[in-house]
Structure 1
Amino acid sequence: MKIIKILIVCTSLSALFLSCVKDDGNYVYNEVNDVVISGIEANYVAIMLDSFTITPALNRTLTATEADLEYSWTIYNSMNTYNFPDTLAKTRNLKILVSTIPGTYKVSYNVYDKNTGVRYRYEFNVVVTSELQRGFLALSELNGKANVTFIGVSGKVYQDIYDNINGEAVGTNPVSICYTYQAPIDYVAILCNDTRGGVYISSTSFKKLFDLKDFFYDNLTITNPQAFVVQEYYGSVSDYQASGSKLFLTADNKLYYRDANYNTTIDGVSTRIETKFYSAFPGDYEIAPVSFQALGRELFYDNKYKKFMYIADYAKPNLMVTAAKPTGIFDPANVGLDFVWGKFTISARNTYNCNSIFKDGSGNYFYLKFDMTNKAAVTPLKKVAIPAGFKIREAKTFAGNSLQDYIYFAVGSKVYVFDCILNQEREIYDFGTGKSVDNIRWHEAVLSSRIMHVCTSTTGSTGRTGSIYEMNVATDGILSIKNAYTNVCGRVVSTHWKN
């Protein structure tokens, strides 16, 4: 009992002592100048390669100042998780060129107060769409650099599309551009005669994926790339390259081959295998950059020994000479001429006729027609000397199709047609003084619409004087302008249609 009394007395004295101690603590609370974010909607739709702008309202609870604030806009992947963030901008307002591939995304707007260390955040959703699925590709030389222009099916022009997406020029000395469907991924291949040699880009986003050298099984140095060719299927758009494509690359007059992608079973799971180019076909030859492609058939020409060649077995590195026909109109195994240009043309069912232009060492030109249904035994059909005064002898760009027995070509500012039945040529369009027709092409993917693309530029110019004309083609070959896209590129060297 005595102990309890002592404890009570001690406790009372302690409480009395503590109540007399001076409290020096600072209990003055200052209000924080909070940031209130508004003016941002919950959902947006953005179009790839279009400008996208958001101007938020920032209100402060005390003093209206933004001098102490930092900003960031962050986008997260299409699964709406917070993995793999990408910073869109570090500015108060968002004003960007959309380079994100199509999909559904979450975007976070962050405002950071440097004085207090407090971070404020507002999240919203963005659906990115694209008009880049189908359209016309043009590779040009602009101010000494390779340049890519894309025109969507809606008619919208995307200038400098590779530069804008990748922040660099694709290269110098542009050579060729080619869309290729390689299920399940499609690419656009761009060749340049420079140290890099070319690139593969995504057909969906136009972002660079690989250098050309990365698509070879062997560690090769590719010099003088000349042509990139894909097997094209004729008919409707849905038929075009529907099952993947065999690819052929000509570089320094050597032929390289890449098979279509294929499925194989790995650990019981069907897996798509991405193929690459093999080393060049062995042999003593100089393959011409232009080849003949028709529904799974391809035919090549050796300008060194003046003969047609074909691939007998894709599983083996072989390049064979087509069968000799020494008593024919010409001998496919010994033509004796240099190949200039050629293409698959209108043919009877299950037959594959081709029109072509050749020349000899004395400057004489010839029109040759042949059947490549059996590429191992090409059938000569016609050989005609082209008169000295014909403009086709001066042409550098040609086009043909499988609807007409015509060869279209250009010289200077004019487009001509050569009638392969009558062996006559005629002028069909003149773009006027000071203009040069640099490239013409009839794309098989839009064959039924009878549209030809003609690319011009101002003669001698290295600037943005290149224009692209979408032209209707009448049954008699006459051209008329359907749509004109002026001064959208440089001097066009190659074109292709992309699905």
Structure 2
Amino acid sequence: MNKATKKTGIICLLIYLFSSCQKDLGNYSYSDLNEVTIAAIDSSYSALSGDRITISPQLSYAQNSDTSLFTYEWLYYGPTGGQNSVDSVVHTGIVLDKVFDFEAGSYNMYYRITEKSTGIIYTKFFNLAIGDLGYEGWLLLSDVNGRSRLDMLNYVSDETFIPQVDILSAMQSNVSLAGSPISVNLGFHHYLQQLYVITSEEGYHLLQPSYETNISGYLYLPLSLLITGSAQRGFADARANMNFFTDYIYTNGGLYYRNPAYQGTVMRTVGPVNTNAANNRFSISPFFATTGVYDNAQTVMFNQDEKRMYRYQGLWGIISSPLIIDGLDMQHDDLIFMDYSTYNSGYVFAVFKDTRTNSYHLAQFTMNGTLALSALLDGPDIADADLFTIDPNWGYLLYAANGKIYEYDLGTRRTALMQDYGERKISYLAFPKMLSPLNPSYFVGTDRYARYSRRLIVCTYEESNPERSGAVQFYTVPTLNRPFVAVDRYEGFGKIVSVVYNEK
């Protein structure tokens, strides 16, 4: 083949290849992906088991908004919440609308959109925390038009609680609370938490987990049947301190003691323990201070006849003995507050009113009668103070009067205004007393329970609307009289008079 022929053949081949490429380009159509953008799904959600959860995402499509071109699924991937399934579809559809009957736990969830033609997947991840109705959380005893109602902040996760008004009705309990509210209490007996609601008419032992009066062979017991002697009714002046294996109940002028660890399954009280060595009962203030420790459950009470402190040692017998407190003169005093605090290894704090001068003073002493402080209380509104509590962190005395909260510093002996709620009334002021610090091995949330126990609880309401204006506010209390730090606030309750945390 000569050179001219070869050159001609090469030119023809190039022309053919170029022509083929031109035709091939015409056989393909290139376009952008129909990308889907997912919005309006939060990073976390919380609910109670049995609640309906609705999530309506906002979707935008880059090319074609025909929803039939995609599949839409809602899934959780485990193991979470005690379930071992992995990537399980719980609902299909653009919108999640489902009753979740999951057991309590934290679930890793995601929304998955798949394009049918290409198999391309778009996802959005979120967390779902599920709690159990009535199982754990803050129990709030409210006054609603003179009637008692038990409300609850149901625990879902560490700092997430879901409010439930009238928890007994929500759980379809057959317990009906009669009378005006006094207190809600948690004790630990026979290795089980025991809940008690005390009203002006009765004390109710609520058996868990359903708060029914007849469950698993246990019978609902009116508190009146637990008091030593014949059954009595009427608890209008009652005060209770229920703790780890020990209970103290003041009612109708008598202080009664119960220790199921030593008294067996009958669980009746002994007392009244405001009885002296001559076996004579003496009159006491309704305020008393107890350590709450089952093997050393001492309590201190104020003998109003003799104007002095008495101490009951617990465990056996009903006799109390005078507690000598050198340097503390109470001969002209009325006791208006007393409680035990774990502050600095444990002290009794007592506030007195001198009937001669109408002045107020604070005493701080040990269970053995060693006086640590005796100081005049001359802060603002002290004469109107009706609620007191002791800060277990720094030993401050807090008191509420005329819609304000004041803080008395034991070190500087000065009083500072900390909160002013204006027209709102203060119905409850306290640091919660948790059972778990007394014996943490029995409880699952010891670390966070310890954190909860160091928060101040303040409940307020509007006098013109006590049925629905009740609110509970949680604070942390810094040192050096710095302002309270708000943690959480919940509202929509009645006039809250008592709060306790149902530990697990």
TM-score (norm 1): 0.63
Within the candidate set 260, 264, 268, 1:276 is matched to 268
* Segment drifting more, 167-176 vs 151-160: 167-176
Q: 1:297–1:51: structure 2 CA closer, same or farther, 3 Å change rule?
A: same
Is structure 2 residue 440 aligned with structure 1 residue 444? no
Equivalent position SS for 1:393 = helix
Counterpart AA for 1:391: D
Is structure 2 residue 157 aligned with structure 1 residue 177? no
Is structure 2 residue 208 aligned with structure 1 residue 207? no
Q: 1:49–1:277: structure 2 CA closer, same or farther, 3 Å change rule?
A: farther
Residue 480 of structure 1 is matched in structure 2 by 485
Structure-to-structure mapping, 1:328-339, within 5 angstroms:
328-331=326-329, 335-339=331-335
How far 1:423 moved relative to its partner?
Answer: 2.0
Structure 1 distance, partners of 2:364, 2:486, is 33
Counterpart AA for 2:180: N
Counterpart AA for 1:372: T
Equivalent position SS for 2:260 = coil
Q: 1:418–1:189: structure 2 CA closer, same or farther, 3 Å change rule?
A: same
Q: 1:212–1:383: structure 2 CA closer, same or farther, 3 Å change rule?
A: same
How far 1:155 moved relative to its partner?
Answer: 0.9
Structure 2 distance, partners of 1:447, 1:400, is 16
Q: 1:129–1:149: structure 2 CA closer, same or farther, 3 Å change rule?
A: closer
Equivalent position SS for 1:284 = coil
Within the candidate set 258, 282, 291, 1:285 is matched to 282
> What percentage of residue pairs aligned between the two structures are identical?
15
Aligned residues: 351
Is structure 2 residue 168 aligned with structure 1 residue 162? yes
Q: 1:485–1:347: structure 2 CA closer, same or farther, 3 Å change rule?
A: closer
Residue 352 of structure 2 is matched in structure 1 by 358
Equivalent position SS for 2:224 = helix
How far 1:469 moved relative to its partner?
Answer: 1.0
Structure-to-structure mapping, 1:45-444, within 5 angstroms:
50=50, 130-153=132-155, 154-165=160-171, 166-167=173-174, 169-194=176-201, 197-208=202-213, 209-216=220-227, 218-230=229-241, 232=243, 244-262=244-262, 273-281=265-273, 282=275, 283-294=280-291, 295=293, 296-312=297-313, 314-323=315-324, 328-331=326-329, 335-345=331-341, 348-349=344-345, 352-362=346-356, 364-374=358-368, 378-387=369-378, 390-432=380-422, 434-444=423-433
Structure 2 distance, partners of 1:342, 1:401, is 13
Q: Mark the runs of 5 or more structure 2 residues left unpaired by the alignment.
A: 1-46, 54-98, 105-129, 214-219, 435-448
How far 1:150 moved relative to its partner?
Answer: 1.3
Q: 1:458–1:290: structure 2 CA closer, same or farther, 3 Å change rule?
A: same
Equivalent position SS for 1:170 = coil
1:357/1:366 contact within 8 Å kept: yes
Structure 2 distance, partners of 1:177, 1:346, is 21
How far 1:467 moved relative to its partner?
Answer: 0.7
How far 1:453 moved relative to its partner?
Answer: 1.2
How far 1:356 moved relative to its partner?
Answer: 2.1
Equivalent position SS for 2:315 = coil
Equivalent position SS for 2:383 = helix
Counterpart AA for 1:365: S
Q: Mark the runs of 5 or more structure 1 residues left unpaired by the alignment.
A: 1-46, 54-95, 103-127, 233-243, 264-271
Equivalent position SS for 1:273 = helix
1:299/1:372 contact within 8 Å kept: no
* Segment drifting more, 365-374 vs 464-473: 365-374
Equivalent position SS for 2:225 = helix
Equivalent position SS for 1:290 = strand
How far 1:427 moved relative to its partner?
Answer: 1.1
Equivalent position SS for 2:221 = strand
* Aligned alpha-carbon RMSD (Å): 3.2
1:345/1:403 contact within 8 Å kept: no
- 1:288-346 Cα deviation digits (max 9, x unpaired): 222212343321122333221111453212122213x5xx3214xx5431111133346
- 1:166-196 Cα deviation digits (max 9, x unpaired): 35541222111111111233221111112xx
Q: 1:452–1:312: structure 2 CA closer, same or farther, 3 Å change rule?
A: closer
How far 1:259 moved relative to its partner?
Answer: 1.2
Structure 1 distance, partners of 2:356, 2:176, is 41
